Amino acid sequence: MRGLSKTYPAVRGRRGAPGTPEVRATDGVELDVRRGEVFGLLGPNGAGKSTLVRQLTGLLRPDAGRVEILGHDIVRHPERAARILAYLGQESSALDELTVSLAAETTGRLRGLDVRRARAERDAVLEELGLTPLAGRALKKLSGGQRRLACLAAALVGERPLLVLDEPTTGMDPVARRAVWAAVDRRRAEHGTTVLLVTHNVIEAETVLDRVAVLDQGRVIACDTPAGLKERVAGEVRVELVWRERAPLEVPEVAVLRERAVESGRRWTLRLAPEEARAVVATVTGGAAFAALDDFTLATPSLEDVYLALGGAARQGLVRA
Amino acid sequence: MSVVPAEVLPGAVRTLPQTAAPGAAELGPPARLWPSLVAVYRAQLSRARVARIPLLFVATFQSVGITVMMRGVVDSGGEAQSVVAGSSVLVVAYVALNLLSQYFGQLRSSGGLDHYATLPVPPAAVVLGAAAAYASFTVPGTLVTAVFGCVLFGLPLANLWILLAVIPLAGAALAGLGAACGLLAPRPELATLLGQLGMSAALLLGVLPADRMPGIIRLARDLLPSTYGVEAYARTFGADPDWAVVLVDLGVCAGVGVVSLAVATWAYRRAAVR
């Protein structure tokens, strides 16, 4: 069943400060997200992810197009969005001066819970995310990752069938990240919660997402499972070579490779067919080249390679962490 | 390198049902006005502990300082009454107008309004809750200033209770203005500037005795809502206060309060969904 469909032949033209040209932040985006799915929006900064999410949450009216969430038309009735979804934005300034506990409780009350339920859910969520020891501390006194976790706690108080999380794990340590994904998974397993995740972290995208849409300059350039996307570049292997001081260009095989490498200081990145990669590895692990080699890695393609192969304009901007 | 065509192409418009389709998900409950107002009020009050106490001291010292300064200028007649009343209400103007416009200005520019806008909370609850909290912040400072001023100028303390009406009513009028300024100003610096200007107006037009002002300034004084709070309080110092006029003054505050809070609520809606 496809319970959730969002269709935007949307064109968002926003005029920025005088002198800057009109920016099409989302350009005819069409996406269908299935119920109970963890769906990702992946792209570098400025790809239009946040704009898309703001349109989806009723915060920003699209110039054209339609958004439908679980049978409700959000463009016509933006006020319904708040009753279907919970949104974790990138800013915490509304909650910064509250304690973790009060931030969660107040958010629950504003989500329509009575005092008793808001407090019960607050306690459960803080416990689940390991925030109970920090409950009495003000958000602005916490570290970036802890603050992010507290904001997520606020977003999770008061159950919603759709969670829209804009880079939820930014700045978090691995323990906090695991707590986040465990909490999300539990809601999915128990309530069939759908999750829309905005990220520019490719490793996270590969591990937690069911499907992912790759955004570039306001357009969806691909939409598939992470594995399906990676199959598109399955014919390639990524070879990274790190030289000790400089590349041994006097070795003819290395000199030839230089033309195909993306150089970044002492690091060369090559995308090669598997048999070529084997030959390269054989070359650099023997003789004069090996003496100049500091490190090398051979990897199957990641979503980052997919993004580049699909013609993503930004060469940098995706994070591997 | 393989070139993969984009799977998703623009242009294919699908027809979707116009309203909630059959089988549409049940909506979560909306938050009702009073419970959410109380929740916002409580949250805002708790901010005072973290962030506002130094500013409340500033507000109080500023007003107390003005009464001391004016002690050398006016004698203890009718002018003294307006100095004490004016500097007491100045605390309200400083906190409700100036600080609230700064708060909303910053909240808007930093994207903090998104938090409230994605919750099913009535806009009036957010604005009224914040305004009520900021008006409450002013209570201690206003009382301290009033008592200090009365003692300094030898005025009676008997009708001090009128402040319990003056603070919420003048507070509503000024907090509404402050919130509207903060939410409508395109930049946070502008919101701060508007709040400061409003407070300066309340200072100059409220504390200085009216009968020494030129006509045009007096008109400006009549247009400022805090003036009516000042006058209501000043009138109660007399031996036999004219309570009907006091009531009219307070009524003006209340009326302006309703209007300015309605404007602020409208401004919030406008700022929250762009």
pLDDT at B250: 93
Model confidence at A6, pLDDT cuts 50, 70, 90, reads low
In the block, tokens 């023997």 appear at: A286
Which helix (H) or strand (E) segment holds residue A269: the answer is strand A267-272
Structural domain contains residue B216: yes
Structural domain contains residue B92: yes
pLDDT of A78 > 90? The answer is no
CA A3 to chain centre: 22
State which residues form the domain around B140: 33-272
Q: Do A58 and B273 touch (CB under 8 A)?
A: yes
Structural domain contains residue B26: no
Residue range A28-77, pLDDT digits in tens: 788 888 888 999 998 887 778 888 888 888 888 887 788 888 888 888 88
Nearest CB to B2; choose among A5, A107, A232 = A232
Share of chain A above pLDDT 90, in %: 33
* Minimum distance, in Å, between the CA of residue A106 and any CA atom of chain B: 6
pLDDT of B179 > 90? The answer is yes
B37 CB within 8 Å of a chain A CB: no
pLDDT at B3: 39
pLDDT at A13: 47
Q: Do A102 and B46 touch (CB under 8 A)?
A: yes
Q: Do A91 and B115 touch (CB under 8 A)?
A: yes
pLDDT at B120: 93
| Chain B residues lying within 8 Å of A159, measured CB to CB | 28
The answer to whether the beta carbons of residues A253 and A222 sit under 8 Å apart is no
Q: Name residue A296's beta-bridge partners.
A: A241
Which helix (H) or strand (E) segment holds residue A297: the answer is strand A293-299
The DSSP letter of residue B15 is: P
Q: How far apart are CA A179 and CA A182, in angstroms?
A: 5
Q: Do B46 and A99 touch (CB under 8 A)?
A: yes
Q: Do B46 and A80 touch (CB under 8 A)?
A: no
| Chain A residues lying within 8 Å of B43, measured CB to CB | 98, 102-103, 106
| Chain A residues lying within 8 Å of B20, measured CB to CB | 71-73
pLDDT at A3: 43
Q: How far apart are CA B91 and CA B95, in angstroms?
A: 6
The DSSP letter of residue A158 is: S
- Of A19-33, A107-121, A277-291, B195-209, give the lowest mean pLDDT range: A19-33
Burial status of residue A117 (CB atoms within 10 A of its CB: 0-12, 13-18, 19 or more): middle
The answer to whether the beta carbons of residues A57 and A81 sit under 8 Å apart is yes
Q: Do A109 and B116 touch (CB under 8 A)?
A: no
Region B227-242: mean pLDDT is 88
Region A203-216: mean pLDDT is 87
Residue of A nearest to B125 (CA): A110
Q: Name residue A138's beta-bridge partners.
A: A99
Using alpha carbons, list the distances in angstroms from residue A276 to A58, A164, A221, A279, B3.
50, 43, 28, 5, 19
The DSSP letter of residue B54 is: H
Retrieve residue B7's tokens. Answer: 């799977």
Indicate the average pLDDT of chain A: 83
The answer to whether the beta carbons of residues A41 and A197 sit under 8 Å apart is yes
Residue range A121-131, pLDDT digits in tens: 999 999 999 99
| Chain B residues lying within 8 Å of A160, measured CB to CB | 28
Instruction: Show Cβ contacts of residue B210 under 8 Å, excluding neighbours closer than 6 positions.
Output: B82, B218, B221
| Chain A residues lying within 8 Å of B17, measured CB to CB | 71, 73
* Minimum distance, in Å, between the CA of residue A156 and any CA atom of chain B: 12
pLDDT at A170: 87
Residue range B120-171, pLDDT digits in tens: 999 989 999 998 998 888 888 999 999 999 999 988 888 889 999 999 999 9
Structural domain contains residue B137: yes
Task: Report how many domains make up chain B.
Answer: 1
B25 CB within 8 Å of a chain A CB: yes
pLDDT at B88: 92
Structural domain contains residue B149: yes
pLDDT of B267 > 50? The answer is yes
pLDDT at A317: 47
pLDDT at A16: 43
Helices B163-184 and B123-153: crossing angle in degrees, nearest 10, is 130
pLDDT at B1: 38
| Chain B residues lying within 8 Å of A80, measured CB to CB | 27
Structural domain contains residue B191: yes
- Of A39-48, A204-213, A259-268, B45-54, give the lowest mean pLDDT range: B45-54
Nearest CB to B118; choose among A76, A81, A232 = A81
Region A119-148: mean pLDDT is 94
Q: Name residue A224's beta-bridge partners.
A: A212
Structural domain contains residue B20: no
| Chain A residues lying within 8 Å of B22, measured CB to CB | 71
B273 CB within 8 Å of a chain A CB: yes
| Chain B residues lying within 8 Å of A90, measured CB to CB | 111
Burial status of residue B204 (CB atoms within 10 A of its CB: 0-12, 13-18, 19 or more): middle
Residue range B180-223, pLDDT digits in tens: 999 998 888 999 999 999 888 888 888 887 777 888 888 888 88
The predicted model scores a pTM of 0.82
* Minimum distance, in Å, between the CA of residue A250 and any CA atom of chain B: 28
| Chain A residues lying within 8 Å of B110, measured CB to CB | 91, 93
Using alpha carbons, list the distances in angstroms from residue B102 to A79, B125, B183, B185, B270.
27, 19, 9, 10, 18
pLDDT at A321: 46
Three-state secondary structure call for residue A182: helix
Residue range A287-318, pLDDT digits in tens: 788 888 888 888 887 777 777 777 655 444 45
pLDDT of B8 > 50? The answer is no
Q: How far apart are CA B5 and CA B10, in angstroms?
A: 13
Cα dihedral sign, B103-B109-B110-B116: positive
For A221, phi then psi, to 5°, come to: -95, -10
Which one-letter amino acid corresponds to residue B41?
Y
pLDDT of B11 > 80? The answer is no
Q: How far apart are CA A67 and CA A49, in angstroms?
A: 15
pLDDT at B264: 93
Retrieve residue A218's tokens. Answer: 């306001």
Q: How far apart are CA A110 and CA A191, in angstroms?
A: 21
Q: Do B111 and A232 touch (CB under 8 A)?
A: no
B28 CB within 8 Å of a chain A CB: yes
Q: Do B112 and A91 touch (CB under 8 A)?
A: yes
Structural domain contains residue B28: no
Top pLDDT among B59 and A233 is at B59
Region B72-76: mean pLDDT is 78
Q: Do A110 and B2 touch (CB under 8 A)?
A: no
Q: Do B43 and A219 touch (CB under 8 A)?
A: no
CA A55 to chain centre: 17
* Minimum distance, in Å, between the CA of residue B221 and any CA atom of chain A: 35
